[in-house]
Amino acid sequence: MSKEAASSTVLPPSSSQSISMASSADGSPLREENFVHSLKSQVDGENIEEIIQSQKKALERFEKTNEMLGTCSSLAEKRLDRARKDFAIGKEKICRAKSDLDSIFRRIASFKQTLANNYPAEFVAAQTDSPQNSDCVNEHKKQTDD
């Protein structure tokens, strides 16, 4: 509201005093009516209409924004569900691969133990020829010494 419009619509002090004097002492609807009337007389109708229009525009924008956020939220929820399923599948594959590898290593260890028990000289010779198997040779020597 511009300063000029505000100064032209403000009631002089004498008229606002007369309105408040006309109200009853017990706060009846007459007093509320006078208050509303004094507010209406101090506010420019065009400015109120401008405020209402700007609020309607803001409401429309907020509704559009809310709709867009709802759409974004539903898309994110769908993607999260898909990612959870993919993650669960990947986890299952990794667990299966781990159990397969554990089984393979147990069978290899069992096979080595069988070879070491049945052919100890050849097993030690084969292990000493390969530097990466030196740990296995040491384990075998400990087991045979015990």
pLDDT over 70 percentage in the chain? 70
117 and 83 assigned to the same domain: yes
pLDDT at residue 37 in the model: 82
pLDDT at residue 101 in the model: 98
Q: Which domain holds residue 57?
A: 44-145
Q: Kindly state the average pLDDT of the residues 10-29.
A: 49
pLDDT at residue 108 in the model: 95
84 and 106 assigned to the same domain: yes
| pTM over cut 0.75 | no
Residues 74-102 have pLDDT tens digits of: 999 999 999 999 999 999 999 999 999 99
35 and 52 assigned to the same domain: no
Average pLDDT, the chain: 80
**What 3 state SS string does the chain have?**
CCHHHHHHHCCCHHHHHHHHHCCCCCCCHHHHHHHHHHHHHHCCHHHHHHHHHHHHHHHHHHHHHHHHHHHHHHHHHHHHHHHHHHHHHHHHHHHHHHHHHHHHHHHHHHHHHHHHHHCHHHHHHHHHHCHHHHHHHHHHHHHHHC
93 and 27 assigned to the same domain: no
